[in-house]
Chains A and B, each alone.
Chain A
Amino acid sequence: MARVKRSTVLPGFRLTLGFTIFYLCLIVLVPLMTLPARTAAMGWSAIWQTISDPRVVASYKLSVGAALMAACVNAVFGLIVAWVLARYQFPGKRVVDAFIDLPFALPTAVAGITLTTLYAPNGWLGAPLDKYGIKVAFTPLGITIALVFIGLPFVVRTLQPVIEDLDVEIEEAATSLGASRSYVLTRIILPYLYPAWLTGFALAFARAVGEYGSVVFISGNMPMRTEIAPLLIITKLEQYDYAGATAIAVVMLLISFTLLLTVNALQGWSSRKLAH
């Protein structure tokens, strides 16, 4: 098959592929290779010393924990939002639909200072919460809220097209055979949505683990308590501790790549499932 296609009359294969690989190496691969190169030069014990430092461990736990919480919140509400947008009619639906992508379009620094101001003890949302003794800004809860904001579109946008493409005939068949609506929802529709749902969850999670801009303002950055891993990398870089920064970064990259591979596997599962 590959042989036949190669005899195409279209020009430019060598030129475009050559340029693609050259540009990819120049902008992405060569810069990224500095990380494993630095790590290899460090030696295992030096790396272990950096990443087993209690302050670093605390930052990993916080980054991963808050990202996980935020992804769970987004998974629940994202499913509801995607369902409502795909299936129900209400006035202003198009505007609401367009606004889902706001977290993608709004620079993270803007989101960061806005959420901090809103949830500060004297802010619009922070003040009423403060009355009940709930502190949001400068706590892990605030970090989670910022991560919910930036991860919001992922679950909605992966689920929405799948729900729109659901075959109504399956639902009609089940209903006409006497299945109740709740049975149809939980036993027929939901299993169909699992791959896309998990993909959206993993994407939101991956984005949140490495997030910096929207979190750094609301977190308060107290070592051991509200210091996220990306901030610790910046701190090390500012102290010219390149080795320390590299060690922290490599662990974060491993987490991201594991998630990316999971997403790829899920998408494979999803396309097989949707292909019937």
Chain B
Amino acid sequence: MAHVQTGRTRDPKKGLTEPAPVRWLLTAVALGFLFLFLAVPLVAVFTEAFRLGWSAYLTAVAEPDAMAALKLTLTAAAIAVPANLIFGVAAAWAIGKFQFRGKQLLITLIDLPFAVSPVISGMVFILLFGRQGYLGNWLMDNDIRVVFAIPGIVLATIFVSFPFVAREIIPVMEATGSQEEEAARVLGAGGLQTFFRVTLPNIKWGLLYGVILCNARAMGEFGAVSVVSGHIRGVTNTLPLHVEILYNEYQFQAAFAVASILAFLALVTLVLKTIVEYRTRRSMEPVHGN
């Protein structure tokens, strides 16, 4: 009885699953596909990076332009992630705890950056701040550089990583409802106290999940940043752009050495993501009573 109820991992019962040869065939096809499309490329990144040995690897990674690119990537992410985190929490509070007209439209608009090609995401900032852009003359007169400078890169990064935190915690806020918060308020808790003591513990895993995805996108973005960067070595190059420059200069080993840093970050992201998913599932289980 309990056996049927626990769901997730069922024993393959006769007649309720495919015959063994079919199961083996499907598993082999699935694993073969994943091996070819995921495992082989991942192994290739590190193989190419270490092709000329450790010292060549370290030289490529420690080179000043690579370090400058790493610094810019971290800077852009350090601005974009907190900005989108604050936005995500504010949006989820408004959408999850209150009823108002146009809510569904707001949710759709928040997802908008996902529907836009990365190249177009970068391009809109050129149309706005570029030399022939709407604010171009004003910026020139005041000697402010946005496009082909760091502010443009930060703006493009914020744009492409915009929805991640919000779309992870809006459903959690909606699902938990507002009774707990209302109880806290009635018992005399202040607004911020209610948020930090009641709401935050409920949404923390969703929040963390959103931050992990947001950060991965912010550090890895290529298309949008490429359009606004102008590719000035050591100044407006992020790590992914530096990879491109090295590759186009036929410095393949150096390109893959820098790429391996990004691949390593991707692996860290996957591990963190899996841990958070596991914790979320566990914290959800007692509540998930339907």
Contact = CB atoms under 8 A, between A and B. Distances in A.
A172 B41 CA distance: 41
Contacts of A118: 40-41, 44
Given A13-B98, A117-B44, A213-B240, A28 B113 contact: yes
A35 B182 CA distance: 44
A113 B247 contact: yes
Interface stretch (B52-60, B127-135, B137-145): B127-135
A24 B163 CA distance: 10
Contacts of A99: 34, 38-39, 270
B247 A233 contact: no
Contacts of B12: 87-89
Contacts, number: 290
Interface residues of B, number: 103
Contacts of A83: 26, 30
Give the contact-size bracket for chain A: 35 or more
Interface string B182-223: 100110000100100000000000000000010010011111
B98 A149 contact: no
A106 B220 contact: yes
Interface stretch (A3-11, A42-50, A130-138, A190-198): A3-11
Contacts of B123: 233, 237, 245-246, 249
Given A1-B99, A98-B271, A102-B270, A32 B16 contact: no
Contacts of B158: 27
B33 A77 contact: yes
Contact of A38 (B18, B118, B127): B127
Interface string B27-40: 10111011011111
Closest 3 CB pairs of A and B: A210-B117, A107-B220, A213-B222
Given A20-B90, A32-B112, A99-B38, 20 more contacts: A5-B99, A12-B93, A81-B30, A88-B27, A101-B273, A104-B216, A105-B267, A107-B262, A109-B243, A114-B41, A114-B44, A124-B40, A149-B38, A152-B38, A164-B7, A181-B19, A212-B118, A212-B223, A230-B120, A249-B119
Interface of B: 4, 7-10, 12, 15-19, 23, 26-27, 29-31, 33-34, 36-42, 44-45, 48, 87, 90-91, 93-95, 97-101, 106, 108-113, 115-120, 123-128, 130-134, 155, 158-159, 162, 178, 181-182, 185-186, 191, 194, 213, 216, 219-223, 226-227, 239-241, 243-244, 247, 252, 255-256, 259, 262-263, 266-267, 269-271, 273-274
